Amino acid sequence: LNELVVGDTNGKLYVYKNDDSKPWAVRSCQGMLTCVGVGDVCNKGKNLVVAVSAEGWFHLFDLTSPTSKHSDASGHHELAAAEEQKPVFKQHIPANTKVMLISDIDGDGKCELVVGYTDRVVRAFRWEDLSENSDHVSGQLLLLKKWLLEGQVDSLSVNPGPDGSPEMMVSQPGCGYAILLCTWDSEQQATTEGRDNSAPSSEAPIRDVILHQTSGRIHNKNVSTHLIGSIGRGCSSENSRSGLFALCTLDGTLKLMEGADKLLWSVQVDHQLFALEKLDVTGNGHEEVIACAWDGQTYIIDQNRTVARFQADENVSAFCAGLYACKGGSNSPCLVYVSFNQKIYIYWDVQLERMESTNLLKILDCDPEFGSLLQQLGVERGDVSAVKDLIHKTLYFPEKQQQSSPSQCQDPAGTDSSAH
């Protein structure tokens, strides 16, 4: 069952469970938290909570260990300062952190930690274990690589490339993005070869940032852009195809792309979009794109460009969407909004029967009972106007329908079923 992890600018980390408005756990961190995440960052097969402050303090918390469950009689954690646990690991990394991603970005099956900075730099770290004990966290973060981007980085994501291997993507202003190449293995090899060969290498440095602009004419090339990759398209997807990813901009552009050069759709809205998520709200395995604006206007768009809109009650300072166990003891699709007056709103079990518009005839056609009832009433299934007329009379004038055809409506169950 999934929890909700929230960090604030005072260095407090809150973990919420179920529909309880009181935090299940509270932890204190050093500095102003800018990045919070959960993942197997140490590659030990268990999730750890990662919190990174703007000042560069990296904290690891293990909330699965028995010592972390200081519960009182009502099941809450004691919020007294003495009970607040220290992180299992803390390290200083370069400051001015902005966004964070825990994912396997080089295809080796192990998670890396990728951090985006306010000075247009992205750094990748890998955890190096110093002990064999799988339960005890002992080690350090090692810097793998540093990339310098042309514009501000607002999102980090991973998307399958044409060959199925992961591609590290970062958003760039003006509805652009860049692919960051994980060149540490080849760089390490080149360093080793350089030691072996005393002759200076004449090879050009490896190009490690590939910039893509998704639009020929951009209204504002500096506009803030967010992206999300690896959008699920159900079990029907072919492995050979590139992954789906979406982009949104603060001036209201939304795009869904398949690979670098195939635009599936583009939508222009009149709201300032500042957050982008993905979530399967129909339960069909195809994830929808969820974009949120500062004023709480939320767009849910499927892969065929069908749009559903939702208006949150207040202006929004932070937004996320995902599976959270709010009620009923199971994870369900949830939308989470944080308002400017420090309130968290969780809209739980956000499920739609379908995204695309439909009509009653199409729905009834899928019901095998419908055909047999039409047969009983002597209506030809292919005669659309007669079927429409029957449905109209059944819905709006059921009494007249019964009077006009008493011979056809002897079976009350049949009448009920057709009305149903």
Burial class (CB in 10 A: 0-12, 13-18, 19+), 32: middle
From 3-12, 15-24, 104-113, 407-416, the region with the lowest mean pLDDT: 407-416
Q: pLDDT class for 413, splitting at 50, 70, 90?
A: very low
Q: Is the pLDDT of residue 217 over 70?
A: no
From 166-175, 176-185, 354-363, the region with the lowest mean pLDDT: 354-363
Residue indicated by tokens 């310098």: 148
* Residues 234 and 200: beta-carbon distance below 8 Å: no
Q: Is the pLDDT of residue 124 over 90?
A: yes
pLDDT digits 0-9 by tens, 7-60: 999 999 999 998 899 999 999 999 999 999 999 999 888 899 999 999 999 999
Q: Is the pLDDT of residue 406 over 50?
A: no
The torsion defined by the Cα of 124, 130, 134 and 136, in degrees rounded to 10, comes to -100
pLDDT of residue 371: 83
363: Cα within 13 Å, side-chain hemisphere: 10
Closest CA to 6 of 49, 30, 29, 36: 36
Helices (H), 241-382: 360-365, 368-376
pLDDT of residue 199: 43
Top pLDDT among 136 and 103 is at: 103
Number of H helices, E strands in the chain: 6, 26
Cα angle, residue 395 at apex, residues 391 and 401 outer, rounded to 5°: 75
pLDDT of residue 198: 47
Q: pLDDT class for 412, splitting at 50, 70, 90?
A: very low
Report the percentage of the chain scoring pLDDT > 70.
82
pLDDT of residue 196: 53
Helix (H, G, I), strand (E, B) or coil at 413: helix
pLDDT digits 0-9 by tens, 234-283: 765 555 578 899 999 999 999 999 988 789 999 999 999 999 999 999 98
From 143-152, 156-165, 227-236, 289-298, the region with the lowest mean pLDDT: 227-236
Give the type of residue at 97: T
Say which residues have a Cβ less than 8 Å from residue 90's Cβ, sequence separation at least 6: 30, 57, 58, 59, 60
Say which residues have a Cβ less than 8 Å from residue 399's Cβ, sequence separation at least 6: none
pLDDT of residue 130: 81
Computed from CA positions of residues 379, 381, 386, 389, in that sequence, does the dihedral angle turn out positive or negative?
positive
Radius of gyration, alpha carbons of the chain: 27
Q: Give the helix/strand (H/E) hosting 188.
A: helix 184-196
Q: Is the pLDDT of residue 187 over 80?
A: no
Helix (H, G, I), strand (E, B) or coil at 294: coil
Q: Is the pLDDT of residue 102 over 70?
A: yes
Beta pairing, strands 156-160 & 288-293:
unpaired
CB atoms within 10 A of CB 247: 28
